[in-house]
A and B are shown apart, each in its own frame.
Chain A
C-alpha cells in the first residue's frame, strides 16, 4: 500500500485533470457570457464600474441564499423558509437597532435565532420524518407570521445611517455585500469538497441507507445542513437590513424560489447528491443579469420573471436529456 504509484493501471485522478464535459455549470457559464456580450453591445451602461458594482450588490443576497439552499438540496431536501426567515431577521434586527441595542449584540442575537430556526427545521425533518417540503413550508408560514406580528405589519424606520452606508460601501473596489458572498462561497466550497461532513452530505443525498450502513451519522448531516442553512438566512437578513435600511415584514417574498432556481441552474439536482456552491453562484448571477439587463434594455419588469422561468425550464430539460442519453 505504501509504494503506491499515482498511475496504477492508467487510472488518473479525475479531479486534477480538466475534462471538458458539457456539464450544467459550463452551459450556464456560456449563457452568462452570451448575455454579457449581448448587453455590452446593446447598452451603453452595462460595462461600467457602477453597473458592475450594482450587479455585485444585487447578486450578494440572492447568491448567499442560492449557496445555502444548494447545501440542503444536495441531501435531497428543500428549504422554503428562506424569504420568511430573512424577513423575520430583518424586522427583529431593525427593532433592536432602533431600540438602541449595540449592532454587534443585535447581529449575534438574530444569527442565533435564524440558526435555531434552521435547527428546528432539521430536527422535525430527521426526528419525525416530516417531509422537508412540509417542514420548511410550516417554518415559512410561522416566520412570516412572526415578522408581521412583531412589526405590527408596519415598516420600521429610524435605523442608524451607518447601517445603510455599509451596504453602499466598497472594499478594494468591490461592494461590501459581495465580500460576504465570496466568504460564503469559499466556506461552502471548502465544506463540500474538503471535509468529511461534505462527503457525508453527498452520500446521504445519494443513498441515506447506504450511508447509514457505512457508519455515517445521518442525523448529524440532516440537522446540520438545515442549521447551517438557517445561519445563512440570518446572514442574508442582516445584509438585507443594511440594503433596505429599514425593517419590512414583507421583504424577502419569493427569495426561496429565486434561490432554488439559481441552485438548479447551477447544476443542483432536486433528487440529491448533485450541486456545488460555485454552480449556485453562477445560477444566481444569471438571474441577476437578467434583472439588470432588462432594466438597462427598458424591458417591462414584468417580463423578468417570465424570462427566468423559461431559462430555468430549458436548462433543466437539456440537463435531463443529456442524463438520459448516458
Chain B
C-alpha cells in the first residue's frame, strides 16, 4: 500500500486486550485505519468486532493497550471524549427518537441555543446544509417527523446527526440488515461520498459481497485476534472465509449413539422471516442449526415450539400431523425450549430456583390446583443434585445465580417436564468453560437416552464436535445441510455467508 504511507492515520489501536468474566473478548488486537479509508470488519459472531467498536466509541474500557485518534494518544476513552474526537457509530433505528422531527433528532443533546432558548432557524438551516452534503436536499425535510421516513432515510438522519457533531470516523454496524436492495445502494452511494470528503468509515457486515462492493480494505477478526488485513482487490470471499475459520474445541465431545425413529418432521414451514423450512429430527440425534445473527434461526426455534404463529407448513410429531401449536401444547407433547435470552425469556428472575424449575410441571405435581409441596421440593433437590446447580438454598432467587447456574435451571425445567425433544437456542452463551462442558455432557446424555436435540449455536466448533449433522440457515431459509463426514468450519461458514450463485 504505497499510496497509504503518505496518508494520515485516523485511528490507531495498539495491543488492545479486553476480558469479561470467563472470556477474553480481545487479545492484543492492533488495528489502524487511515483518513478517508473505508475499512471492512468481518468475523464470526463473538469474534470481537462489537467489543473493538465499543472500545473505540468509549463504551468499554480496555484492560490493556493504547488508542491514538488523529495523533492524540489515549489509555482509555469515554463516550464524551470519543465523540469530541470525531468518532461516531451509526446505528439504524436505535439512535433516533421517532416522534421528533429530523432537525430535532440531528441536534438532540447539542441544540443551538441562546440564553437557554432554542435557535430553531439556525438548526433547520444547518440540517438543510447537511442534507445537501449527503445528496438529500429536498428529499428529507428538516421538519418531517422521523417516524414518517423510510429505513434508508432514517439511516441518513443518523449519519447527518453524526456529521453535525463533526464526526471524522463513522462506524456502521450491520447497516444493511434492515435495508432493501435499493436502499442499500443509496447508502453505499452516500458512503462513497463521505469517503471523498475525507471521512473515514469502518464498516461491519456479515455480507461479504458488500465488503467487496464498498470497502477499500478489510480486517478479519477471529476469537478476539486479528487474523489479517487485506486490500479487497487482492482477496476473495473464499480467502476471507478461510481466514475466519480454523478454530477448534480442545476436547472431542462427540459420543457414538444409536439413531432411532423420526420424532419430528417439519415441511415448508413459514413464520415471519422464516420461509420454506423443511427438516426432521430423529430420536438419539443431535442436529445442529447454524446461522449468523438475523438468519432466522431463533425465529425458527420459537415457531417450532409454538411461541410464534406459523403461517404455512406442516409439523409432524411421531408421524402425526399437528394442527394447533402453543407453548402449553408443546410442553404436553414433550418438547422443551431453552430460549436464546435466558434472562428475558427463560427465567422468572425474581423467583426462587424451586419455583422456576417446577414452573412447567405444576399441573403434574398438584391435585385440584393445590401444589404438592413435597413433590415440588423433591424435584428441585433432585435436579440441583443431578445438574450440580450451585445455589445456597432452594429458595434463592434465580437472579443471584451465576449465568451457568441460571442456564442449568432453565435446562432443569425441561428435564423435569420429561421432554423428549429439546430445542436449545445458544445454550452455552455467556457461560464459563467448566459449565459448558457439563452442558455438552448433559446433551450427549440426553441424546443417548433416545431424546432428539436441535442445537442452535453461533459457535461452529461446538456444533462440529457434538452434532450428527448441521443445518445452516441464511436469510430465513435453510440454505444447506452438512453431514458429519463432511464437517468443516469452512464449509458451514461458506453456506452461511455466501450469496446464491
Seen from chain A, the residues whose Cβ lies within 8 Å of a Cβ on chain B are 1, 4-6, 8-9, 11-15, 194-200, 202-203, 205-207, 209-217, 271-274, 326
Contact = CB atoms under 8 A, between A and B. Distances in A.
A15 B337 CA distance: 29
A195 B369 contact: yes
A209 to B, nearest CB: 5
A11 B391 contact: yes
Interface in B185-237: none
A199 B359 contact: yes
A198 B358 CA distance: 13
Contact of A196 (B327, B366, B381, B393): B366
Contact of B394 (A13, A209, A215): A13
A197 B369 contact: yes
Given A11-B391, A14-B395, A209 B344 contact: yes
B355 A199 contact: yes
Interface string B352-368: 10010011101100100
Interface stretch (B50-58, B165-173, B370-378, B472-480): B370-378
Contacts of A12: 393-394
Contacts of B347: 207, 210
B273 interface: no
B349 interface: yes
B339 A206 contact: no
Contact of B395 (A15, A197, A199): A15
Given A1-B378, A196-B369, A213-B339, A207 B348 contact: yes
B328 interface: yes
A215 B345 contact: no
Interface string B387-403: 00001111110001000
A19 to B, nearest CB: 9
A11 B359 contact: no
B355 A214 contact: no
Contact of B348 (A197, A198, A202, A271): A202
Contact of B355 (A9, A194, A202, A209): A202
Query: Looking at B337, B377, B384, B392, which has the most chain A CB atoms within 10 Å of its CB?
Result: B377
B348 A210 contact: yes
A187 to B, nearest CB: 13
Contacts of A273: 348, 350-351
**Contact count band on B:** 35 or more
B385 interface: yes
Nearest to A199: B362
A214 B371 contact: no
A14 B394 contact: yes
Contacts of A213: 305, 307, 327, 337, 339, 345-346
B327 A214 contact: yes
A215 B331 contact: yes
11 contacts: A8-B384, A13-B394, A14-B393, A198-B371, A206-B348, A207-B344, A207-B347, A212-B307, A215-B327, A272-B350, A326-B400
B451 to A, nearest CB: 17
Contacts of A196: 362-363, 366, 369-371
Query: Looking at A1, A4, A209, A215, which has the most chain B CB atoms within 10 Å of its CB?
Result: A215
Contacts of B349: 206-207
B282 interface: no
Contacts of A203: 348, 351, 355, 359
B351 A202 contact: yes
A194 B345 contact: no
B261 to A, nearest CB: 26
B384 A9 contact: yes
A14 B371 contact: no
Given A15-B395, A215-B360, A274 B381 contact: no
B382 interface: yes
Contacts of A11: 381, 384, 391-394
Contacts of B384: 8-9, 11
Contacts of B297: none
A215 B348 contact: no
